[in-house]
């Protein structure tokens, strides 16, 4: 990979220890993936925040770094709600370690909103065509597929390195030739709400690391596409998808006189029937002792829908609703409306990265991603429900 003279100096330690370590990571990645150069990025979203996942080795590594990030950077969910951790049963010891992790990131100049939906907090982080270094897989899918920005699925260390350098190696999804659809998926029947998560749960397992282009009978909202992309990133490793007729479109074919999207890499055409989507709701039937909403973190629109569904109802089975602290602070009316039912709005964390969820046996989720991850990462069974099903289960209907 070609380096500028300034980048060469950074690699030899002329610009300090943190810059040197960051450059070492980026150069190693660039060499592995045959990148031609480092390219400037607009923002980073950094995973490796929950103390549950990174432990003491991760905390030590981050604490040893000094310097300041060069681009706007934001954190992935942590292992606890930074305000309500006691109420959720987090130990003093875990809380102290988790705060130490967040403060170490803060010393580097990173925003301490901990969320997988940074695009719901600010539009300053990513626009169409921007190069990014984001790490949480659903955020990556949203950035690539809905915003039309360009990011690889970064690991926590490589996103942090990109933040410190302000650049990332130019390979993978940064390049047009790697953004061409590889599998065409036609979906029979109209979808709504959690159906998109169920579709993603099926489609991700089929597409694996490919790039699906969907032909749908219904028009998904951005929240629906968030759910679809998140589930495909969990049941497979999909980082980019397209929906026919919706922006952003695939790159234009270089041989098309009419600027048609490039379909030259599509090697498979499949159809998913509505019945297959309905069957995802019937997997792992179990009696939920916890209902969780907000994987990925709830948008204000999703909170408003849940507030309306919970109006004048009382929750009798625990229900946790995950969103970012920024959304909680900006929408106290929505939070109060939801919590008047007895449900809890939990921020900065989620059902997968907090250790607390490990004490439950069966979780009802409204997310295809959580359906895939909860059994693997929390040791609990998971059952999918629509938002309405989740409310019914929570109020004991």
| Nearer to ligand F3S (CB atom), residue 76 or residue 170 | 76
Q: Which span sits near ligand F3S by CB under 6 A: 216-224, 260-268, 295-303, 358-366?
A: 295-303
| Nearer to ligand F3S (CB atom), residue 116 or residue 228 | 116
| Nearer to ligand F3S (CB atom), residue 135 or residue 170 | 135
Q: Which span sits near ligand F3S by CB under 6 A: 1-9, 158-166, 262-270, 293-301?
A: 293-301
Residue 224 touches ligand F3S, criterion: CB under 6 A? no
Give dist(CA 65, CA 63) in Å, integer: 5
* Residue 311: CB minimum distance to ligand F3S, A: 25
Residue 327 touches ligand F3S, criterion: CB under 6 A? no
Helix or strand (DSSP H, E) at 112: strand 111-114
| Nearer to ligand F3S (CB atom), residue 262 or residue 348 | 348
| Nearer to ligand F3S (CB atom), residue 98 or residue 170 | 98
Residue 198 touches ligand F3S, criterion: CB under 6 A? no
Q: CA-based angle 73:111:349, to the nearest 5?
A: 105
Residue 297 touches ligand F3S, criterion: CB under 6 A? yes
Out of 138, 168, 299, 324, the residue judged to bind ligand F3S by CB under 6 A: 138
Contacts of 137 (CB under 8 A, 6+ apart): 153, 230, 233, 234, 237, 239
Measured CA distances, 379 to 343, 358, 360, 363, 373 (Å): 23, 6, 9, 10, 9
Give dist(CA 99, CA 51) in Å, integer: 9
x/- mask, ligand F3S, residues 42-81, rule CB under 6 A, reads ----------------------------------xx----
* Whether the Cβ atoms of residue 152 and residue 178 lie closer than 8 Å to each other: no
When computed from its CA atoms, the radius of gyration of the chain, rounded to whole angstroms, is: 21
| Nearer to ligand F3S (CB atom), residue 30 or residue 229 | 229
* Whether the Cβ atoms of residue 203 and residue 185 lie closer than 8 Å to each other: yes
Give dist(CA 284, CA 382) in Å, integer: 6
* Residue 229: CB minimum distance to ligand F3S, A: 10
Out of 19, 46, 116, 334, the residue judged to bind ligand F3S by CB under 6 A: 116
Contacts of 285 (CB under 8 A, 6+ apart): 383
Collapsing DSSP states into helix, strand and coil, what is residue 389?
helix
DSSP state of 146: I
Give dist(CA 78, CA 55) in Å, integer: 12
Phi, psi for residue 380 in degrees, rounded to 5: -110, 155
Residue 275, phi-psi category: left (phi > 0), alpha (psi -120 to 50), beta (remainder): alpha
* Residue 63: CB minimum distance to ligand F3S, A: 23
Residue 337 touches ligand F3S, criterion: CB under 6 A? no
Q: Which span sits near ligand F3S by CB under 6 A: 59-67, 196-204, 294-302, 378-386?
A: 294-302
* Residue 84: CB minimum distance to ligand F3S, A: 16
Residue 38 touches ligand F3S, criterion: CB under 6 A? no
Residue 373 touches ligand F3S, criterion: CB under 6 A? yes
Q: Which span sits near ligand F3S by CB under 6 A: 83-91, 194-202, 261-269, 292-300?
A: 292-300
Q: CA-based angle 334:321:113, to the nearest 5?
A: 80
Residue 350 touches ligand F3S, criterion: CB under 6 A? yes
* Residue 298: CB minimum distance to ligand F3S, A: 9
Residue 262 touches ligand F3S, criterion: CB under 6 A? no
Residue 136 touches ligand F3S, criterion: CB under 6 A? yes
Q: Which span sits near ligand F3S by CB under 6 A: 86-94, 235-243, 347-355, 380-388?
A: 347-355
* Residue 239: CB minimum distance to ligand F3S, A: 14
* Whether the Cβ atoms of residue 323 and residue 298 lie closer than 8 Å to each other: yes
| Nearer to ligand F3S (CB atom), residue 152 or residue 323 | 323
Strands across the sheet with 319-323, in order?
A: 344-347, 319-323, 290-293, 362-365, 381-384
* Whether the Cβ atoms of residue 352 and residue 377 lie closer than 8 Å to each other: yes
Residue 352 touches ligand F3S, criterion: CB under 6 A? yes
* Whether the Cβ atoms of residue 347 and residue 322 lie closer than 8 Å to each other: yes
Where do contacts with ligand F3S occur on this chain (CB under 6 A)? 76-77, 116, 136, 138, 230, 295-297, 322, 350, 352-353, 369, 373
């Amino acid at each position: 990979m070609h380096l500028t003279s300034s980048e060469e100096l950074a690699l030899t330690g002329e610009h300090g220890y943190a810059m040197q370590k960051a450059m070492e990571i980026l150069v190693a990645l660039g060499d592995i993936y045959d990148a031609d150069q480092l390219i400037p990025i607009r923002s980073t979203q950094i995973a490796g925040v929950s103390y549950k996942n990174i432990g003491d080795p991760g905390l030590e590594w981050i604490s040893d770094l000094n310097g300041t990030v060069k681009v706007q950077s934001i954190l992935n969910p942590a292992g606890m709600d930074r305000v309500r951790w006691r109420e959720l049963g987090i130990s003093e010891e875990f809380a102290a370690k988790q705060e130490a992790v967040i403060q170490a990131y803060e010393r580097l100049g990173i925003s301490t909103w901990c969320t997988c939906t940074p695009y719901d907090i600010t539009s300053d982080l990513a626009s169409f065509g921007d190069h990014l270094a984001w790490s949480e897989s659903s955020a990556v899918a949203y950035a690539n597929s809905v915003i039309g920005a360009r990011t690889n699925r970064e690991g926590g260390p490589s996103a942090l390195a990109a933040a410190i350098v302000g650049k990332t190696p130019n390979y993978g999804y940064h390049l047009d030739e790697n953004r061409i659809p590889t599998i065409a998926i036609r979906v029979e029947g109209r979808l709504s709400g959690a159906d998109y998560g169920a579709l993603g749960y099926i489609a991700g397992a089929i597409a694996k690391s490919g790039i699906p282009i969907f032909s749908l009978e219904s028009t998904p909202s951005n929240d629906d596409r968030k759910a679809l992309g998140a589930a495909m990133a969990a049941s497979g490793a999909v980082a980019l998808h397209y929906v026919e007729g919706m922006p952003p479109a695939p790159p234009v074919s270089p041989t098309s006189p009419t600027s048609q999207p490039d379909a030259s890499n599509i090697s498979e055409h499949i159809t998913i029937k509505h019945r297959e989507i309905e069957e995802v709701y019937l997997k792992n039937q179990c009696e939920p002792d916890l209902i969780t909403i907000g994987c990925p973190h709830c948008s204000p629109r999703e909170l408003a829908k849940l507030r309306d569904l919970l109006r004048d109802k009382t929750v009798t089975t625990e229900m946790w609703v995950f969103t970012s602290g920024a959304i909680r602070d900006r929408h106290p009316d929505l939070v109060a409306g939801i919590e008047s039912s007895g449900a809890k709005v939990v921020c900065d964390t989620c059902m997968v990265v907090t250790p607390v969820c490990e004490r439950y046996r069966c979780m009802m989720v409204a997310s295809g991603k959580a359906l895939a991850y909860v059994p693997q990462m929390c040791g609990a069974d998971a059952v999918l429900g629509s938002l309405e099903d989740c409310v019914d289960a929570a109020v004991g209907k």
